[in-house]
Amino acid sequence: MSRLIAALLAAASCASVAQAQTAPPVEAREVTTLDQALTLAGVSSPNVEAAEAGVSAAEQGRNVARLRPNPSVSVEVENVAGTGPYGGIGESETTVGFSLPLELGGKRGARVGVANARIDRARLETAVVSADLRLRVTQLYIVAVAAERRLTVAREQLRIAEEALRVAADRVMVGATSPIDEQRAQVQLVNARTEVERAERNVAVTRSNLERLIGQPITGDLDQPWFDRTGTFGPTAAINIEGTLAYAVATSDYSIADANVRLAQSQRMPDLTLSAGTRRIESSNSQAMVFGVSVPLPFFNRGTASVAQANAERGQADARRRGVRLDVDTQIADAIADRDNAAAAVRASGPALEAAIESARIARVGYGQGKFDQLILIDAERTLLQTRIAQIDALAAYHDAEARLARLTTPAPSISGDTQ
């Protein structure tokens, strides 16, 4: 008789658990999608604003590079405040002159070339900042969605633990099992409640991190159906590494170094300074014109050291560009492997979860009917929990690998190459 009562109680408990897990939501809430989060983050990000300011600064730098040297005006008074006939100003000579530096060797064009290369680099930096921001937002969104999914699982496990405690208490009450079963069920319930509290804190923290990045609070739900979707996996078409954003940045750094070589070479050509003026001679009350040309003598600094330094920096930039190509190729291969491994785990998690759910159901019914030991039930529930968490981890790993792959394969934007 006691076994019959326990079986009836177990069946009722299992029915209530199933109803709790399949009950539809009371009302549909607004959903914040990943695309919406990306849009909001792009509007509020100070890093994007800083990158745009960097483009403006580089453009102003080109305006500075275009400027020619300023002319000079000089006034000289000679033969005054001396001795003898030069004690006054009667023998003084006053010269008012005008001098104009002339840049030779293409220095101005070389400066503008460096400035143009830096503008291209600044424009690429805006694309880098946007791509990095997209990756960061996507990863935070994945973490937040996964945290909500884990909270849902924790609450389901809490309901199961509560029902398990009721079944154990009823079985103990009718003398169908030892009181130790009730104590074990109590421990499982305490652990389930603790896990719910931890999951709730994780949801609050991950949501808060995402809200700070997008610049506004998230009042609705996150896109759980998106989290369940997996797309492409397996072999992909060959990726042109030289067309990626990372390689374009390295190439732009090389272009700056190459332009600096031309600038250093142009600096080896001495500049001329032309001067012209008028001189007034007080003693004869007459005037005369003065003309001059000055050229620096490259005795101590011939500019060869600067050219050698610029060549070494260009070689360094070229080596880094080749290194970036290898690194990006390796990182893409790793991201593809991570994505495919996660996709395989997601595919396997479906049948595994179905089996774990059925196994836990059988264990609950069997324990309620006295056919199974409570340890079998606890093991089945633990397996179900681990399978659910493994599925969430696999989905999170898949989306994270997809996000990293999208960042690595971000195409380089077209640079205008404006030289005006």
The CATH number that applies at residue 342 is 1.20.1600.10
Per-residue pLDDT at 295 exceeds 70: yes
Is residue 383 assigned to a domain?
Answer: yes
Same-domain status, 62 and 74: no
Same-domain status, 331 and 370: yes
192 vs 9, which has greater pLDDT?
A: 192
Whether the CB-CB separation of 144 and 130 falls below 8 Å is answered with no
Q: How do residues 188-247 score in pLDDT, each as one tens digit? A: 899 999 999 999 999 999 999 999 999 999 988 999 999 999 876 655 677 889 999 999
Q: Round the average pLDDT of the chain to a whole number and report it.
A: 87
Q: Could you give the CA distance from residue 145 to residue 226 in angstroms, rounded to a whole number?
A: 9
Per-residue pLDDT at 14 exceeds 80: no
Is residue 86 assigned to a domain?
Answer: yes
pTM for the full predicted model = 0.82
What band does 417 get if pLDDT is binned at 50, 70 and 90? low
Residue 10 has a pLDDT of 39
Contacts (Cβ under 8 Å, ≥6 apart) of 201: none
Is residue 366 assigned to a domain?
Answer: yes
Same-domain status, 89 and 158: no
Same-domain status, 49 and 90: no
Instruction: Please report, in angstroms and rounded to a whole number, the separation of the first and last CA atoms in the chain.
Output: 97
Element (H, E) at 394: helix 374-408
Residue 81 has a pLDDT of 77
Q: Could you give the CA distance from residue 233 to residue 345 in angstroms, rounded to a whole number?
A: 12
Whether the CB-CB separation of 412 and 245 falls below 8 Å is answered with yes
Whether the CB-CB separation of 354 and 391 falls below 8 Å is answered with no
Length of the chain equals 420
The residue out of 281, 302, 323 marking a domain boundary is 302
Same-domain status, 209 and 245: yes
Residue 28, φ and ψ in degrees, nearest 5: -85, 130
What angle do the packed helices 179-214 and 374-408 form, to 10 degrees? 10
Same-domain status, 50 and 93: no
Same-domain status, 139 and 274: no
Is residue 413 assigned to a domain?
Answer: no
Whether the CB-CB separation of 273 and 293 falls below 8 Å is answered with yes
Tokens of 387: 């399978």
Element (H, E) at 278: strand 272-281
Can you list the alpha helix ranges (DSSP code H) found in 215-243?
A: 224-228
Same-domain status, 277 and 133: no
Surface-to-core class of residue 248, CB atoms within 10 Å of its CB (0-12 exposed, 13-18 middle, 19+ buried): buried
Number of domains in the chain: 2
- Smallest CA-to-CA distance from 98 within 70, 78, 79 is with 70
CATH number of the domain residue 284 falls in: 2.20.200
Q: How do residues 378-411 score in pLDDT, each as one tens digit? A: 888 889 999 999 999 999 999 999 999 999 999 9
Where does residue 79 fall: left (phi above 0), alpha (psi -120 to 50 degrees), or beta otherwise?
left
Whether the CB-CB separation of 248 and 85 falls below 8 Å is answered with no
Same-domain status, 154 and 278: no
Same-domain status, 162 and 262: yes
Residue 178 has a pLDDT of 76
The residue out of 302, 317, 348 marking a domain boundary is 302
Same-domain status, 335 and 295: no
Q: Could you give the CA distance from residue 233 to residue 414 in angstroms, rounded to a whole number?
A: 29
Mean pLDDT of 112-135: 95
Residue 24 has a pLDDT of 39
Same-domain status, 333 and 198: yes
What b-and-e string marks burial along 345-358, b requiring 16 or more CB atoms within 10 Å of the CB?
A: bbeebeebeeebee
For 284, the domain range is 69-102+269-302
The residue out of 302, 324, 357 marking a domain boundary is 302
Q: Could you give the CA distance from residue 256 to residue 41 in angstroms, rounded to a whole number?
A: 31
- Smallest CA-to-CA distance from 356 within 175, 113, 153, 111 is with 153
Element (H, E) at 73: strand 72-78
Is residue 205 assigned to a domain?
Answer: yes
